[in-house]
Structure 1
Amino acid sequence: MNTIRYFVRTNGKTARDLLLDLSLVLQTALRRDNQVSLNEELASVRAYLRLEQARLSDRLEVEDSVPDRDLPQLISSHLLPQMVQGLVNAATSQSSGGRIKLFLSQDELVMEGSSRAEPDQALLLKFPKNVTVEHPDGTRYRWRLLYENPDRRR
């Protein structure tokens, strides 16, 4: 909110865009559906990343090369935003900041987070485009996916 308040005074268009992004992130957080399309989750992730870029300025670089096309497969609601939050926290934990990359590789959505201080220690999260990710234990399972079984590239 402080970031948006700053832009209200300095750049009205950016403030409006950030308010729309915040609205989308909050709507996503309040959603009660168990499953949503990958498109919907990706829209929320992109909005969250724009908010974080505004807040962190040059400490966060985002590369998003996922094409705007139909990705109708269903995944667990709130899965991607939580994982991207973890990636942003890990990538920007150093004062030098970091980078988040979103891209499609063969049949997978890949999210990669790395700090500028240790770019060769990237954390990769892969989501097959044709697999539905669901689990009755929701958040605990999502965090386990993120923190216990990461595909680390060294």
Structure 2
Amino acid sequence: MNRRTTLAGVLALSTGLTLAGCSSSGSEPELKVIGAFMPQPVNDMAAAFLVVQNSGGSSDRLTSVTSPLSDDVTIHETKNQTMRMVTSFAVPAGGELDLERGGNHIMFMKLKQQPKQGEKVSMELHFEKAGPIKVDLPVKETTHNPKKQ
């Protein structure tokens, strides 16, 4: 093997390793929303429930939610049957954030209209690292709870 062939091989190998190191596969959050729904509200407030799955190699945080249904959409945690607003929720790498009835959830205050069962409500989830995710929430009956079916 001559010196030129060896040098070309080393350069090709190091370039390939450098590009592999810059690759985003596995090192970025890869988020997907499943099971989203909103129970039909009975007053000027509503809640939304869903699961954010992260199949990526790094964690992320849900930082806010926006929707044309309300100018006041917040995220709440529930501990010891007490609800309080929080600034973010962790979405672990290779894990999920579960927003469910009786637990952590999204809260819509001062609704601009009353969505009815069978309609859809649009919202957008905002994250610390990943781009926003648009979700169309199907409005279910007021007592809907997929965990108890």
**Which protein has greater RCO, CA pairs closer than 8 Å, 6+ apart?**
2
Higher strand share: 2
**Could you say which structure has the larger radius of gyration?**
2
* Same-fold call, TM cutoff 0.5: no
Q: Structure 2 length normalisation: TM-score?
A: 0.22
Higher helix share: 1
Q: Structure 1 length normalisation: TM-score?
A: 0.22
